[in-house]
Chains A and B, each alone.
Chain A
Amino acid sequence: NAGVTQTPKFQVLKTGQSMTLQCAQDMNHEYMSWYRQDPGMGLRLIHYSVGAGITDQGEVPNGYNVSRSTTEDFPLRLLSAAPSQTSVYFCASSYGGTSGGARDIQYFGAGTRLSVL
């Protein structure tokens, strides 16, 4: 199984550019989420989804949009990139969604390293 796949692995943007970070999972997981990792701050939740068609904001949602049209995919969109969005982004998925699942193990992708100049 591929697990959680994130593309691209690296990206450099100029301020104001837009882009989409891709995340796909092949485990039929209901729950998917995006985190950003910054030095000294751990991982912070950006957006999450408990199933297709359902998304919600996490701790740091400003500047990011998400949608969930299929169970497998959960893309993260930066509409107008800012230097403050320079970070490493992780996508994660777990089995439980609308049916619950706080105990479910979350599986992480390898990350996308984004630099905004």
Chain B
Amino acid sequence: AQSVTQPDIHITVSEGASLELRCNYSYGATPYLFWYVQSPGQGLQLLLKYFSGDTLVQGIKGFEAEFKRSQSSFNLRKPSVHWSDAAEYFCAVVFTGGGNKLTFGTGTQLKVEL
């Protein structure tokens, strides 16, 4: 079955430390891949996306993500976290043939310690 997994429910990092949020998908082909961020009480904002080509993609707010076909992964990274990055992060995919329908992971809540 097609699915998206974010194995880390909560992550705590110190301000200035590096960050990696994990995302894996289960699918026979390469889906379209997205990372969204949700600040408290807000809607979702797109951080970055991957469709094809260069497997390292840059997004907004200093985030990047790397697609690894062999691992069916699309992990989100940031070299130095800021306190304002505290939020919930969602990995989402559109499985080809599924129209525009986004399938979301369960989310990772990021806490930043000052």
Residues of A within 8 A of B67 (CB): none
What is the size, in residues, of chain A's interface with B at 8 Å between Cβ atoms? 29
The answer to the question of B99 belonging to the interface, with a C-beta cut-off of 8 Å to chain A, is: yes
Verify if B27 is at the interface (C-beta below 8 Å from A).
no
Max chain B CB contacts within 10 Å: which of A35, A104, A105, A108? Answer: A108
Does chain B have a CB within 8 A of A101?
A: yes
Q: Are B106 and A102 in contact (CB under 8 A)?
A: no
Q: Does B13 contact A (CB under 8 A)?
A: no
A94 contacts chain B at the CB level, 8 A cutoff: yes
Which chain A residues numbered 11 to 55 have a C-beta less than 8 Å away from chain B?
A: 31, 33, 35, 40-45, 48, 50
The answer to whether A90 has its CB under 8 Å from any CB of chain B is yes
Given A90-B43, A110-B42, is A42 in contact with B104 using a C-beta cutoff of 8 Å? yes
Cβ-closest chain A residue relative to B91: A42
Q: Is the CB of B100 within 8 A of A40?
A: no
Given B36, B46, B98, B104, which contacts A44 in the complex, CB threshold below 8 Å? B104
Complex contact B43–A33 (CB within 8 A): no
Task: Determine whether the beta carbon of A45 is less than 8 Å from that of B102.
Answer: yes
Q: Which residues of A contact B51 (CB under 8 A)?
A: 103
Interface check B25, CB cutoff 8 A: no
A104 touches B43 (CB 8 A): no
Q: Would you list which residues of chain A between 81 and 111 have a CB under 8 Å from chain B? A: 90, 92, 94, 96-97, 100-106, 108-111
B106:A105 contact, CB within 8 angstroms: no
Known: A42-B90, A50-B99, A102-B96. A108 touches B104 (CB 8 A): no
> What are 8 A-B contacts defined by CB distance under 8 Å?
A4-B43, A31-B99, A43-B102, A45-B102, A45-B103, A48-B101, A96-B100, A101-B100
Chain B residues in the interface with A (C-beta under 8 A) = 4, 6, 9, 32, 36, 41-46, 49, 51, 90, 92, 94, 96, 98-107
A residues near B (Cβ < 8 Å) are 4, 31, 33, 35, 40-45, 48, 50, 58, 90, 92, 94, 96-97, 100-106, 108-111
12 more A-B contacts (CB under 8 A) besides A44-B104, A102-B96, A105-B46?
A40-B9, A41-B106, A43-B92, A43-B104, A45-B103, A50-B99, A92-B44, A103-B49, A103-B51, A108-B43, A108-B45, A109-B43
